[in-house]
Amino acid sequence: MSTQATETAPALSDAQVEAWTALVALLATLPTALDNQLKRDAGMNMYEYHVLAALAASPGGVLPMTDLALSAQGSASRLSHAVTRLERAGWVERVSCAEAGRRTSALLTRSGEAHLRTVAAAHVREVRRLVVDALAPEQLAQLGDAARAIVGRVDPDVAAALGDTPCGAGPSGTTVC
């Protein structure tokens, strides 16, 4: 058994329990609300949306599947299933990736780019409604800082990839979060 597993951690203060409970509630409710919005308005789940957004942000709308799995923060298996669903919808194609050896890449199709452009507008409205407009600008900045600090403890590579902004430019200059 590791030393960490046998050591007793100091109890949380009442304020720490309160903050932790609020964070757990946020983690339980926000992803579900965003996922439901995307399913209702776009016919895709949040992971599939992140796959399309990652492709849209990449040069030429193409990424090797292994890189895309890292960017979308999912396993190779989860990505494969998502890309299969996105292919059936006509939004993504699998293509050979000669410059990366014998790997397969995912390519955002024109239909996928158009769909993402439409979907991104509604999704950003929901992100704004649920998060951005609920906070004062300084609270939003603090939330971003806190989120990056926590993600840095969980996965430093993901934290490094976050940079200073969780959103980026999507197709035709649209904002993709």
- Find all residues with CB under 8 Å of 95, minimum gap 6, and list them: 62, 104, 105, 106, 107
Token pair for 48? 């599939």
pLDDT of residue 7: 77
pLDDT of residue 168: 47
pLDDT in tens, 109-120: 999 999 999 999
The DSSP output letter for 58 is S
pTM of the model: 0.78
Q: Is residue 10 part of a domain?
A: no
pLDDT of residue 118: 92
Q: Is residue 104 part of a domain?
A: yes
Q: Is residue 101 part of a domain?
A: yes
- For residue 158, the Cα-to-chain-centroid distance in whole angstroms is 11
Q: How many distinct structural domains can be found in the chain?
A: 1
**Cα gap 162→138, rounded to integer Å:** 19
**Cα gap 81→96, rounded to integer Å:** 18
Q: Is residue 156 part of a domain?
A: yes
For the chain, list residues with pLDDT below 50.
1, 164-169, 171-177
pLDDT of residue 3: 52
pLDDT in tens, 84-104: 999 999 999 999 876 656 689
Q: Is residue 103 part of a domain?
A: yes
Largest separation between any pair of C-alpha atoms in the chain: 57
Q: Is residue 92 part of a domain?
A: yes
- The enclosing domain of 66 has a CATH number of 1.10.10.10
| Structural domain boundaries, residue 78 | 44-176
pLDDT of residue 169: 45
Q: Is residue 56 part of a domain?
A: yes
**Cα gap 63→115, rounded to integer Å:** 18
Q: Is residue 2 part of a domain?
A: no
Residue type, 100: A
